[in-house]
Amino acid sequence: MVLYVIKRLVGIVAILVVMSVLVFAITQVMPGNVAHILAGQFADDATIKAIEHKLGLDAPAYVQYWRWASGVLSGNLGNSLIMERPVGPLIWDAFMSSALLAAIAFVMVAVFGIVLGVLAAVRQNRFTDHAVSVFSYIGVSVPEFFWAIVAIIVFARYLDWLPSGGAGNLSHGVWSWASHLILPSLTLTFTLIAHVSRLTRSSMIETLRSNYVRNARAKGLPEGVIIRRHALRNALLPTITVLAIDVGWLLGNIVVVEAVFSYPGIGRLLLFAIERHDLPLIQAGILLIAAVYCFANLIADLLYAYFNPKIRYGHAES
């Protein structure tokens, strides 16, 4: 087990290195480098050359990559080429804001998604099942920016219950801080919950139909005990994988919700960086998100192994 975790951690580092090369390569073939953006519309070639020289963009690609990589190894993520400020604090602040939002949404998606999925499975083809289906369908059937705008118009503009956007500040009180998180996290939950609830439902139905549950029933165990003790454990296996995928989804698609709710998160910062070809910022942002996601996957795999006695990591080839 320990060996397995160490192996995976080494793997994660390898993934991050491969990604950094990949991202660097993509930015190299992207049309228009940061010097064009800095020089602005209609700059002459001499100006672009001068800026490229100042930023060291005229060096060969491998030199540029090494310059960046050696900086990272010595703990320096570099400066944003556009904003001319250190990337580290910039990315970290944005990431913490997004992480808070994503964590709230993730917990809500996991809890409500699983509860709704199990309810629907147990009451298959009855009213609860259909109600859950309709609710999930409505959430997933239109893009998140549509719900986000509807939420702003209804809850911020007409009802005036919640702020229409921005990040709260704890110094203005707990409610002011929390109120800014409600609409964005609800929007994220609403558009993501179908993913989890439907998968939980279908794998729960599978499990309830398995010999193993039938045997338990034959033994005369009460239905509630069967579901909690026996079925849930197996039914949640695919859900765990999907929840790990949702972490990646949340950290990416959060950009749309952040944009609509003026929330200063990492998605918007990354989009800002990609649009401007600001390489140090793109690298740091993508690698940080990737690292978080890799850890989410590692945890999912460990949980998977824990819940599924058929798999024992460390000696996978049995």
Give residues with Cβ within 8 angstroms of 227, minimum separation 6: 118, 122, 208
Closest distance of CB 157 from another protein, Å:
4
165 touches another protein by CB under 8 A: yes
Is there binding between residue 14 and another protein (CB under 8 A)? yes
Other Cβ atoms within 10 Å of 208 Cβ, number: 21
Residues 114/204, Cβ–Cβ less than 8 Å: no
The size of the interface with another protein (CB under 8 A), counted in residues, is: 111
Output the six-digit token pair for 128. 């609860």
Restricting to residues 95-124, name those near another protein by CB under 8 A: none
Q: Which of 100, 131, 156, 182 binds another protein (CB under 8 A)?
A: 156
Q: What is the DSSP string of 228-261?
A: IIIIHHHHHHHHHHHHHHHHHHHHHHHHHHHHHT
Query: Of 67 and 85, which has the nearer Cβ to another protein?
Result: 85
Structure tokens at 48: 């672009």
Binding mask 206-245 for another protein (x = CB under 8 A): x--x---------------------------xx--xx--x
Stretch that binds another protein, among 56-64, 65-73, 149-157, 217-225 (CB under 8 A): 149-157
Contact status: 253 vs another protein (CB under 8 A): yes
Q: How far is CA 36 from the centre of its chain?
A: 31
What DSSP letter does each residue of 28-66 carry, written as one string? HHSSS-HHHHHH-TT--HHHHHHHHHHHTTTS-HHHHHH
Between 142 and 225, CB nearer to another protein: 142
Find the binding residues for another protein in span 23-82 (CB under 8 A).
23, 26, 29-32, 35-44, 46-47, 49-51, 53-54, 82
Do the Cβ atoms of 189 and 105 come closer than 8 Å?
A: yes
- Our CB check for another protein shows the closer of 128 and 262 to be 262
Site for another protein in 277-316 (CB under 8 A): 277, 286, 289-290, 293-294, 297, 304, 308, 310-311, 316
Q: How many CB atoms lie within 10 A of CB 126?
A: 11
Minimum CB distance to another protein, residue 254 (Å): 8
Contact between 117 and 175 (Cβ < 8 Å): no
